[in-house]
Structure 1
């Protein structure tokens, strides 16, 4: 009898080999970059042509999973579970609970998932060891289930994230890659330990009326969006003659002067609309906090930084915020020196008396110019330091991080005010470093999370509550009633500048005169 013919192995035919998510993304990028035919890609990656076609057909899905920091070694996309809503809710709960570094154990995750399932009427859901294991694997969490040890993002997440960044940012120009972060500002803080905010005021357990929160939004080219400043008063008295929309910043308020869900949503939605008007698709990186909730934005793709490595991966934390505070505090100390030189202090409370004259309007103006003082190249350097790809020929010149200029002004203020426990420039910059910038987890936040989830699923509108209005500070006073009076005053200032030989100051006064003249004839 004849032997059956041997099977002929055709070029490009391979035993089915399942690629990992990382390999699929590599294949997709290779296809986009080179335009190679499916046959060539199949040979290169050791898979069949049909598999290549299937991967490229689902490339948006794979790239989205990659961008969400999904398991790079996974070979299959997660199949949608009948309990998907429980999974999504539990992950949202975990992210918010971990934001303030609360320890979260495996059993606690399972317990919360059961509560959500019961609330959603999913009586057949069982938070089994298998479910918990899959949940932790999907979100790359580590920790023993049985022992109740705390779980956290895998220690390799940081390196994995840095490896993914080039793929995540691919297709976006540096001007379309943004970072957002908040920082607390004690805007009247003096460089003296005995007058510094208390520990309770710094950690947020006791309200401090002299604090603001600044939310900064900047792209990789060093272009800042309008800074968001959050105070305690709806309409401070120093704003009495000023329209909020005329301020050089976006001003919002709440009782704790910190970021909230509503303020964040409004600010980010307004940003997204600006990007839409400019016909730009942008990528925004930010940290996970209780107030940074997921939004449906049209032109802005939001990427959350790995929870346990935010200080290393957040560009604004690589020196930009410190640089801004350096500029702010120099302006504030120079203001104090001017006040001292014009009217020498004659009381032991001179320092606190002078600080009380600083109002939110002063702080906003100084903060606005402090942001403008930051060099774009310094911002680009901080993005590079956080691992963001940078053009090889880009010169990363930065601001001088030396505190000597600030220390010089600080020393003069200390001497003239005879401060008893003076700080160094470095300590002065860190005076509000540990201040919480976002609202914490309030009582009943888990119920609110469930309510918001159900509302979002049903499309019900959320009701915005009104914040209590309170006033602080003294009203801004001006004796100028007309353009002509202002122009007359400016001419006096021009003469003063010429007498003092202040050529640069004279240039600014002249520029101001031109602007006011243009405004008067409109």
Structure 2
């Protein structure tokens, strides 16, 4: 519709016409009319300044390089917010220019692009000779597009407020516990953390190959993990935010059955929309907690603690759930998940990654096996390592993390504090690298400091190269999955189950080649136990695919008690009823026995026919 037509439509609504009558007059859906009414102010403002009310909306495509630069700049601002780095307009404009220059392809020039704005240009020089200048008009529109405001920035790396933390622990938190009557099983804390899931210390050959050779996953590729647990030691299934909704590595996988709750965001950041609309609160947190409390015979009464991070929504409401935000700049002092739980998890994840590398070497002594393993390390392998790390997150670790906030409920478990688990895991990872990966460059002289720096690397500021890397690969995997037309048979099909059963039968040869009969029998029994489920599925599917015999559609008729010379006439319906079981449909009956010829009555039939 033109602007003039929309104005006339709005005038009719203003005069008292109903949405339905206006929709019928213009041949529109009623929802479209309501949508136009919602934008009444913008439409009338456009009509008041346009030179022709018969014109339609004209959209000018934006420069793709500027759009990519703005996305990277948004990531950088969010990262600075989490690290409590003060920013102003001048700093943002300067960073925008450097990011834009870093996006210029090799041998290219940035002189052929404008500043991404159409007003407020102070430089009288032609636009094609200036390139991107980050003008006042651009920064104004950039703030509006990304919702930037001059607000206090709170982050995990902020200068800790000791006084506020002490006041909360001694006064406010005990008051919450007393008023709500909460017990450890009902007290939960959630926090998010970044995880560079495919990064190794820079001295190792992985880093060099990632830089030099194509085909490697960017070592700065990151995910955001949402970790939540209670004071009794329960760790809920974590949420994971990745940049791609359907990565190629998870093609044909049921995302509801992953070891994490899968979410997607172009920059893999936590946002208010994900916290509110996601599955996290309504479809993830609530169902898990309800099931847990029901199994323990406890009422559904929950207190959820969160920090004041910018991506955390403040409008979370649910009957029986009280959401409490910790005071600003106290996260590093009193938030349970930040008291070593996240660091312990990352240490366990790193060790699990090392063990995967070692298993690849055990399969093949060639050094190329290790590089090939790392080249094939994808997000699916990352999820497997996350699951392995979660299995080792004992109940005692989570309970000990509440010592600073709620010391009354913490039990003394020697050797299970988050710090002890972290140090022990790091030492094991270093020992594994030195003993089993000694022949590979960079592993022989690995130290605990190398592993610790890897665990804490998400706290380092993002460089321009990191930002460009993250934004350039935002849709690579999804495009790869969409463009992959190679047919592949995935899932529990008959052929795949048959192959799995054949592999299991091949492993039964252990009894033939092992001279230790007891060990061989135990191995065979364990294989049988594991394969029992798949064998049952295979038998059911095989039975369903078997061709049904025709005898299933026929029944033997009982001979009559007395045989008369003249058989009684029968209708087609009675004929079908006496020859077929009641479960066979009429359509199948006709297909199975054919349509019998019409029968005549005794009066119409001739003596010979009778």
Q: TM-score range by the shorter chain?
A: 0.5 to 0.7
Distance 1:273 1:226 in 2: 12
Q: Name 1:378's counterpart in structure 2.
A: 397
Tell me the distance in 2 between the aligned counterparts of 1:366 and 1:502.
30
Matches within 5 A, 1:134-283: 155-163=162-170, 164-170=172-178, 171-194=181-204, 210-265=221-276, 266=278, 267-274=280-287, 275=289, 278=294, 280-283=300-303
Match of 1:51 in 2: none
* Mapping 1:502-521, distance limit 5 Å: 509-517=527-535, 519=537
- Counterpart residue number, 1:490: 504
- Take 1:303 and 1:480, find their aligned partners in 2: how far apart are those partners? 45
* Counterpart mapping for 1:314-393 below 5 A: 314-346=335-367, 352-384=371-403, 386-391=404-409
Separation in 1, partners of 2:361, 2:440: 8
Structure 2 residues not aligned, in runs of 5+: 1-78, 89-151, 153-157, 212-217, 463-473, 541-610
> Higher relative contact order at CA 8 Å, sep ≥6: structure 1 or structure 2?
1
Contact 2:231 2:399 in 1 (8 A): yes
Higher Cα Rg: structure 1 or 2?
2
2:313 to 287, 293, 296: 293
Question: Following TM superposition, by how much is the alpha carbon of 1:509 offset from its aligned partner in structure 2, in angstroms?
Answer: 4.5
Q: Is residue 323 of structure 2 the alignment partner of residue 302 of structure 1? A: yes
Q: Does the residue aligned with 1:513 lie in a helix, a strand or coil?
A: helix
Cα deviations by residue, 1:332-387 (Å, 9 ceiling, x for unpaired) = 1111112123223356xx75543121111111121022112111011101112x32
- 1:248 and 1:365 map into 2 onto residues whose CA distance is 8
Q: Deviations for 1:158-213, whole angstroms, at most 9, x for unmatched residues?
A: 11111033332341121111111122222222345356879xx9xxxxx8663222
Structure 1 equivalent of residue 332 of structure 2: 311
Tell me if structure 2 keeps the 8 A contact 1:286–1:304. yes
Cα distance change, pair 269–489 in 1 and its aligned pair in 2 (3 A): same
Measured in 1, the distance between the counterparts of 2:275 and 2:219 equals 21
Deviations 1:57-98 (A, max 9, x none): xxxxxxxxxxxxxxxxxxxxxxxxxxxxxxxxxxxxxxx997
- Deviation string 1:452-473 (CA, Å, 9 cap, x unpaired) is xxxxxxxxxxxxxxx9684369
Q: C-alpha distance in 1, partners of 2:221/2:410?
A: 44
| Preserved contact between residue 184 and residue 214 of structure 1 (Cα < 8 Å) | yes
The Cα offsets for residues 417-461 of structure 1, whole Å up to 9 and x where unpaired, read as 22278532343243142426999xxxxxxxxxxxxxxxxxxxxxx
2:307 touches 2:326 (CA, 8 Å); kept in 1? yes
Structure 1, gaps ≥5 residues long: 1-95, 106-135, 137-150, 202-206, 440-466
Aligned match for 1:433, one of 456, 474, 478: 456
2:188 counterpart SS class: strand
